[in-house]
């Protein structure tokens, strides 16, 4: 199965910049996660509407945390975190919605799968500026999570084009990138580099 590339907004860019970048890079990514923790539900909804009008497909958008916004804007799904509603609650209420769950241990990953998540996001794998105080979990722990679950695992945290192959070797279904793409000098060039590394893997492991 083709490996996935998820791009996650950083919360550090204004809407104009974000919409401009997303319009250019969306053909090369699997999903865009709208992760804007400081914005209100109304602000996140307006941002998604702008992205939709700019041509970013709803089928490629996932909203972080806000189930209400995901439902009302008609995007593909929602990414739930430790502060969100429980996966089981959302699955019962919205059986058709794609649900991702952010996890940090094997037990959390297994709980998410048991409760109906479609995929899990696990990290952080490598050192990253956004998690300076926390030790990275590393490739071995990622491998363990992949081995102990059956739903897709998306790896996140400090992933660069240079280490993509090592991440995917674990059996992870894809990678998630934030600043490595959205804050690159050329987001288009960056997204193409990541996509290229995933395609190299796919080509050699059909």
Please list the active-site residues: 124
φ and ψ of 154, to 5 deg: -105, 120
Question: What's CA 80's distance to the chain center, in Å?
Answer: 11
Q: CB of 74 within 8 A of CB of 49?
A: no
Beta strand pairing call for 31-34 and 98-103: unpaired
Known binder of ligand: residue 60? no
Contacts of 31 (CB under 8 A, 6+ apart): 4, 5, 6, 7, 60, 61, 62, 76
Known binder of ligand: residue 158? yes
Q: CB of 76 within 8 A of CB of 29?
A: no
Known binder of ligand: residue 130? yes
Known binder of ligand: residue 128? yes
Annotated binding site for Mg(2+): 65
Annotated binding site: 64-65, 102, 128-131, 158
């Amino acid at each position: 199965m083709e490996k996935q590339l998820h791009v996650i907004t950083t919360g550090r860019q204004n809407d104009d910049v974000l919409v401009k970048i997303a319009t250019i890079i969306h053909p090369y990514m699997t999903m865009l996660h709208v992760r804007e923790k400081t914005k209100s539900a109304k602000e996140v909804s307006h941002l998604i509407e702008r992205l939709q009008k700019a041509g970013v497909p709803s089928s490629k958008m996932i909203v972080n945390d806000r189930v209400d916004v995901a439902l009302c804007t008609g995007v593909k799904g929602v990414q739930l975190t430790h502060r969100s509603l429980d996966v089981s609650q959302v699955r019962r209420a919205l059986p058709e919605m794609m649900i991702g769950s952010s996890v940090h241990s094997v037990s959390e990953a297994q709980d998410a799968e048991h409760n109906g998540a479609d995929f899990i996001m696990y990290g952080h794998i490598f050192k990253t500026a956004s998690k300076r105080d926390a030790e990275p979990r590393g490739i071995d722990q990622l491998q363990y999570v992949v081995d102990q679950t059956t739903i897709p695992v998306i790896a996140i945290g400090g992933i660069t084009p240079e280490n993509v192959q090592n991440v995917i070797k674990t059996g992870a279904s894809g990678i998630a990138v934030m600043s490595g793409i959205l804050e690159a000098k050329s987001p288009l060039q960056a997204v193409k580099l990541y996509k290229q590394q995933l395609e190299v893997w796919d080509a050699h492991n059909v």
